Amino acid sequence: MARLPGVETPEQVVCHVDMDCFYAACERLKEPKLEDEPLVVGMGYEDGEEHGAVATASYEARKYGVESAMAISEALEKLPRRATADAPEDTGVYRPVDMAFYEEVSADVKSVLDDFADTVRNVSIDEAYLDLGDPSWDEVEAIGRRLKADIEEAAGVVASVGIAPSMTTAKLASDADKPDGLVVVEPDEVREFLAPMAVADLHGVGPVTARELREMGFETAGDIAAADEATLVEAFGERGRDIYAQARGEDDREVEPKGRPKSLSSESAFVEATADETEKREKVRALADEVAERATAKGALYKTIGIKVVEPPFEVNTRARSLSGPVDAPDLVEAIVLDLLDEFEEAAVRKLGVRVSNLSFDERDQTSLDTWEDEAEDARDHDIRERHRERSTGGQASLTDFE
C-alpha cells in the first residue's frame, strides 16, 4: 500500500533469529549430560529402530557426515548408535522428536522476541524475523548481543543472529557464523559481505542449481551480482531474477507478521529533530490515517491506540490508551493520538509512530463513541493529575508500553 504524503518509507533494520540445532538443544535441556555429545534427533523415529529421517543433527554429529533429512539407516552407518555409557567415542545418541516439549521452549523464545520488537514474523518453530525499528547502526551489535542473552536466559537455548538492512541479507548473515553467531551487515557493507559467498549458500539454490550456475561460470554471489540479469532469467526464469537480486542484496520486503497481526503500526522520522508543534501534529495525523486505513482494509477492530515518541539521541517513549471495546474508527484514532501527543508538546522529537493493538477480526460489535468519550474524559483528567504530580515531585513518568 502506498504511504500517505509526509510519511516516508523508513530504512529497515532487520534481525533474523535462528536457533542453533534447535531440537538437539531442547533434548539437552531435558538431559544436560548430552552436552557436547554427538546427538541425532529423528522424525518418525522410535528408540532402537532404524526407520525415520534425521530432523536435527548436533554439530558434533555433523562431523561424522550426519545431515538433516538423511535416512536414519544411513545416519547409523556413519555414526553408530551408542549402546552403553562406555561405548566408543565414534558413536552417537539418538532421540525421537518430542514436539510438545520443543513447542514449549519455542513459546519461551517467542515471548522474548515479542517483548523485544514491535513487529515479529515467526517463520517456523525455531526461526523469526524482527523489525528493530530505527536504531543507529552503532547500536545494533549491542542490541543483538542483548537479544541473544535474553533468549538464552529465558529459554535455555542458543540463537545465531544476523542483522542487516533487508530480510534476505539478515538471513544469510545469521547463517554466516553458526553456532552462537552474531553478524551485523551495515547498508554500505552488503555487497562486500555477499560477494565471496558461494552460490550454493544462497537461499533457494539447491545442489542442481548450484552446479548449473558453476557450469555457467558463476562461483560466488559476486560473480552473479556482476552479471547481466537477463542471463540468469533466461537460464532459470523468475527464479533467476530472485537469485540475481539476492546476490546484489536487493530486497525491499518489509517484516510483517505471518497470519493475522496482533497490532498495526507506522513510524516516520523527521529529517532533523523538531520541537515544532504543527510539524509533529501533522506527522501524527498522517500516521494515524495510514494505520487506520490499513486496519479497515484488513477488517480489523482495535481496542488499544498508542503513540511512540523518539527524542534525541534515541530516547523512546510510548503512551497508549485502551477502550472498553474494539472499534473501527479512524477519527477516534486521530483524536486519541493527538491527545497523547500533548504530553510531548515542548519536546524535540526525532521520530513519531502510531499503533493500534489488541486487534480482533471476528467481533463486529463496536463500543459506542459515547462510551469512549466518557472514558477519554476520565483518562485525560487522570493524565493531567499525573503530569502535575510528576512536575511537582521531579519524578519521571512511567512508560505504558505498546501491547
C-alpha cell at 110: 517467542
Counting beta carbons within 10 angstroms of the beta carbon of residue 216, is it exposed (0 to 12), middle (13 to 18) or buried (19 or more)? middle
The pLDDT mean for the chain works out to 85
Residues 338-355, mean pLDDT to the nearest whole number = 93
The CATH classification of domain 22-98, taken from the options 1.10.287.110, 3.40.50.300, 3.40.30.10, 3.40.1170.60: 3.40.1170.60
pLDDT of residue 327 exceeding 60: yes
Check residue 121 and give its pLDDT: 93
More confident residue, 313 or 255: 255
- 169 or 380: which carries more pLDDT confidence? 169
Spatial strand order in the sheet of 39-43 = 53-57, 39-43, 93-96
Alpha-carbon separation of residue 306 from 43, 63, 279, 342 (angstroms): 45, 51, 19, 13
The pLDDT of residue 399 is above 60? no
Per DSSP, helices labelled H in 45-189 are: 59-62, 72-78, 99-116, 137-155, 167-175
Model confidence pLDDT, tens digit, residues 36-93: 999 999 999 998 889 999 999 999 999 999 999 999 999 999 999 987 766 677 899 9
Q: What percent of the chain has pLDDT over 90?
A: 61
Q: Are 214 and 199 in contact (CB under 8 A)?
A: yes
Strand, helix or coil for residue 237: coil
* Cβ atoms 324, 351 nearer than 8 A: no
Q: Decide if 127 is catalytic.
A: yes
- The confidence score (pLDDT) of residue 5 equals 43
Sheet containing 315-327, strands listed edge to edge, beginning at the edge strand earlier in sequence = 263-274, 349-357, 302-311, 315-327
At 17 the three-state DSSP class reads strand
Is the pLDDT higher at 311 or at 21? 21
Which range is least confidently modeled, 2-16, 228-242, 253-267, 341-355?
2-16
According to CATH, what is the number of the domain 195-247?
1.10.150.20
Cis ω for the linkage preceding 88 (within 30 of 0): no
How confident is the model at residue 308, as a pLDDT?
A: 87
- 317-323: average pLDDT: 91
Distance (Å) of CA 392 to CA 19, 348, 389, 395, 402: 49, 22, 5, 8, 27
Task: With a cut of 70, say whether residue 242 has pLDDT above it.
Answer: yes
What gap in Å lies between CA 200 and CA 302, rounded to an integer? 45
pLDDT bin (cut points 50, 70, 90) of residue 314 is low
CATH architecture of 263-393: 2-Layer Sandwich (3.30)
Q: What is the DSSP letter of 65?
A: T
Q: List pLDDT tens digits, range 78-88.
A: 999 987 766 67
For cell 539407516, name the residue: 73
Where residue 48 falls (left for φ over 0; alpha for ψ -120 to 50; beta otherwise) is left
Domain ranges across the chain: 22-98, 195-247, 263-393
Residue 271, pLDDT > 80, answer yes
Range with the largest mean pLDDT of 75-89, 181-195, 289-303: 181-195
Catalytic residue among 35, 67, 77, 127: 127
Secondary structure class of 121 (helix, strand, coil):
strand
Q: Give me the pLDDT at residue 261, please.
A: 67
